[in-house]
């Protein structure tokens, strides 16, 4: 049985590779119970809501129009996971920073801290904490996966590869580790090795826009343009403001001789790269856009915004 809405992307996979209806695994595994919302007591000194650790009572959450919810001691990590699930990453970080600062030898706190920092793209802190977590307990697959992905960000390709393979050895369902492997192989221009790693990442986490973007990049390198387009369109559904998705779509439309669409997506990529401060890629997008305009001899009125 396929996931709803996924059928039009089935050609990306072999028949046995189509993502199942099983939801992607949560990074925290299933050790922890899922509970409701947890908020933190507001600190008058800071004039706003803030999380704090109470050695005997745990955490509480207070907002303007909501009642304070008490959380028993020992359930703080559950609160962090719930906040991450709701997209409240700053609040989750407030909680977990206090936990791993007060208890630097508690691998659960350090591991969760690494995971939250990685979710927030704080790769320096994610690298530091995941290294600590692996040293505290080398048998935890997620910590190796986060460590590998963080090392990749700092271009530590060989250590990233080794750590990601270790994560998969410990747990074959670590989608982040497969994604890291695929990205490393892409950087090495080894598309044939990147493809199965990225497909496995997609099977395990089919709602991850980064996976679909990397799949699109791989199919572009392999000159499989229809699959590249399907992958990019799926990534666009999941992350419409991701500049890499628009960049890929522009290249695909260029190859398919659809100049106006190519320029429109390349312009969008340029804008989004610029907003993100990725000036080198914004420049590349601008140069490509100008080349496409000249190649197709487009007039301003021909260009799709």
Any domain includes 14: no
Any domain includes 20: no
* Total domains present in the chain: 1
pLDDT digit string (tens) for 115-156? 999 999 999 999 999 999 999 999 999 999 999 999 999 999
Residue 39 clears pLDDT 60, i.e. is over it: no
Q: Which of 143, 150, 26, 146 is nearest to 84 (CA)?
A: 26
Alpha helices in the chain (DSSP H): 76-85, 89-102, 107-119, 123-136, 141-153, 157-170, 175-187, 191-204, 209-221, 225-238, 243-255, 259-275, 279-296
Residue 203 clears pLDDT 80, i.e. is over it: yes
Mean pLDDT of the chain, nearest integer: 82
Any domain includes 25: no
Residue 305 clears pLDDT 50, i.e. is over it: yes
Any domain includes 289: yes
Total-model pTM:
0.77
pLDDT digit string (tens) for 153-197? 999 999 999 999 999 999 999 999 999 999 999 999 999 999 999
Any domain includes 210: no
Q: What pLDDT, on a 0 to 100 scale, did the predictor assign at position 207?
A: 96
Any domain includes 97: no
pLDDT digit string (tens) for 204-237? 999 999 999 999 999 999 999 999 999 999 999 9
Any domain includes 271: yes
Domain ranges, residue 254: 241-305
Any domain includes 281: yes
């Amino acid at each position: 049985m396929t996931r709803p809405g996924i059928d039009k992307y089935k050609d990306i996979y072999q028949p046995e590779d189509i993502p199942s209806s099983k939801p992607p695994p949560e990074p925290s595994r299933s050790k922890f119970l899922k509970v409701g919302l947890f908020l933190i007591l507001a600190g008058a000194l800071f004039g706003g809501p803030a999380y704090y650790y109470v050695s005997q009572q745990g955490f509480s959450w207070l907002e303007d129009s909501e009642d304070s919810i008490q959380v028993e001691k020992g359930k703080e990590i559950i609160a962090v996971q719930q906040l991450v699930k709701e997209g409240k990453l700053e609040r989750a970080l407030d909680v977990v920073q206090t936990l791993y600062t007060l208890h630097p030898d508690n691998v659960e706190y350090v591991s969760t801290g690494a995971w939250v920092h990685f979710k927030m793209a704080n790769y320096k802190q994610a690298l530091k904490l995941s290294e600590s977590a692996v040293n505290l307990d080398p048998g935890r697959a997620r910590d190796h996966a986060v460590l590998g992905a963080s090392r990749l960000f700092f271009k530590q390709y060989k250590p990233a590869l080794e750590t990601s393979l270790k994560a998969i050895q410990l747990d074959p369902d670590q989608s982040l580790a497969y994604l890291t492997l695929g990205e490393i192989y892409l950087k090495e221009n080894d598309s044939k090795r990147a493809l199965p790693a990225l497909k496995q990442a997609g099977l395990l986490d089919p709602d991850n826009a980064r996976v679909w973007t990397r799949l699109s990049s791989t199919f572009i390198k392999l000159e499989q343009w229809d699959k590249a387009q399907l992958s990019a369109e799926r990534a666009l559904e999941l992350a419409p403001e991701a500049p890499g998705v628009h960049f890929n779509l522009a290249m695909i439309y260029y190859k398919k001789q659809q100049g106006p669409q190519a320029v429109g997506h390349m312009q969008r990529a340029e804008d989004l790269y610029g907003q993100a401060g990725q000036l080198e890629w914004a420049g590349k997008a601008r140069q490509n856009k100008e080349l496409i305009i000249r190649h197709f001899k487009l007039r301003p009125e021909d260009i799709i915004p």
